[in-house]
Amino acid sequence: MNLPEKVTMIEVGPRDGLQNEKKQVPTNAKIHFIKGLKEAGLKEMELTSFVSPKWVPQMSDAKEVIESCLDEDRNFVLAPNRKGIDRVYETDVKHVAVFVGVSSAFNKKNINKTTEESMEELKPILAELKQKGYFVRACISTAFYCPYDGKVDPDDVLALCTQFADYGVDELSVADTVGMANPQESYELFKRLNDELGDRLLLTAHFHDTRGMALANVFACLQAGISRFDASSGGLGGCPFAPGATGNVATEDVVYMLHQMGIETGIDLEKLLKAIQGISGHVSRDIESKYYKLNNQTHSVS
């Protein structure tokens, strides 16, 4: 079987994992979490987002988090609109993430714009970011299913991804936002994306584990030639605009599977468990990842 020898994990826990957390997580706990994740070997990470504190109060301390955690790694800040981008320009951040849903119904619920309207707004912003030398990651939501419109046409996904490639983004993070994709669908979509766009930009797969199929979907993507995966330590996360969507696939579960298969990640699982244990007391939900639960039961991580 022809699988990648090395995989890059993009940690989304500090942003995607915490954004919908009901309890306000203290800023120093977020900073400690991020530094622990970096210590474990995670070199690409979504630190936070510049969004309205009214809608996402958990991210109201974005500036403080950035000031404490920015380093030479690839540190992403999500900035969904012009207001967010202008805030990015006030910092030393050099890696920016934007997002658009393939489904217009989802996009309307999320940012009150159709997919087409979002792309029109983003076109000049992306050109500006690239001109200023920023690394741009485009997050593609609802690439398989939409909670409002049902199954999404793969042709629509490819069209949106191609449009982003034409706009000059550096990376596409393509997401199964509601966790309904199966391995066959995952293989077929990512094989097609890899064949048509893989030589133009980085391709990253982003899975939620709502129905317990995230690891199988990761494996299917490995077979399709994908070697970059988003994941959230502790399986934290969910989407406030996608009813029923549970957390992202757990970083530690993906890393354990990859290591067992002889695939290199550069991540120290023991240090990763320490980082998760540090944040676990600050979130309202239990840490449900298999690897974390097994290791927490068998020995204490100090």
3-state secondary structure 282-295: CCCCCCCCHHHHHH
Q: Extract the tokens encoding 45.
A: 């990470």
Q: What is the mean pLDDT of residues 233-261?
A: 82
Q: Is residue 3 part of a domain?
A: no
* pLDDT tier for residue 302 given thresholds of 50, 70 and 90: very low
pLDDT of res. 285: 84
How far apart, in Å, are the Cα atoms of 250 and each of 183, 240, 255? 17, 19, 9
- H or E segment to which residue 96 belongs: strand 95-101
Q: Are strands 44-49 and 145-146 parallel, antiparallel or unpaired?
A: unpaired
CATH number of the domain at 239, please.
Answer: 3.20.20.70
- Asked if the model's pLDDT at residue 238 lies above 90, the reply is no
What is the per-residue pLDDT for 131? 98
- Find the mean pLDDT for residues 139-163: 97
Residue 21: inside a domain: yes
Alpha-carbon distance of 144 to 154, in angstroms, equals 7
Per DSSP, 234 falls in state G
The CA distance from 36 to 14, in Å, is 11
- Sign of the torsion angle spanned by Cα atoms 172, 75, 20, 107: negative
pLDDT band at 286 (very low <50, low <70, confident <90, very high): confident
The position carrying tokens 């980085």 is 202
**What's the pLDDT score for residue 91?**
97
d(CA 175, CA 120): 21
Q: Average of pLDDT values for 246-254? A: 91
Q: Is residue 291 part of a domain?
A: yes
* pLDDT of 120 above 80: yes
* Torsion angle of the four alpha carbons 203, 105, 212, 155, in this order, in degrees rounded to the nearest 10: -40
* Residue 110 structural domain: 8-298
pLDDT, residue 109, reads 86
CA-wise closest residue to 194 among 160, 230, 227, 163: 227
Number of domains making up the chain? 1
- The answer on pLDDT for 39 being more than 60 is yes
**Which helix (H) or strand (E) element contains residue 128?**
helix 115-131
pLDDT band at 243 (very low <50, low <70, confident <90, very high): low
Catalytic residue numbers read 239
Q: Give residue 55's pLDDT band: very low, low, confident or very high (50, 70, 90).
A: confident
Our CA dihedral for 190, 106, 122, 169, rounded to 10 degrees, sits at -10
- pLDDT exceeds 70 at position 62: yes
69, pLDDT greater than 90: yes
Strand 150-151 and strand 145-146: the pairing is: antiparallel
**Alpha helix ranges (H) inside 55-94:** 62-69, 82-88
Closest CA to 225 of 260, 186, 167: 186
Q: What is the pLDDT of residue 301?
A: 45
3-state secondary structure at position 250: strand
- 51 vs 110: CA distance, rounded Å: 12
When pLDDT is cut at 50, 70 and 90, the band that residue 247 belongs to is: confident
In a domain, 257, yes or no: yes
Contact 161, 192 (CB under 8 A): no
Domain-embedded: residue 187:
yes
Q: What is the mean pLDDT of the chain?
A: 94
- Model pLDDT, residue 57: 93
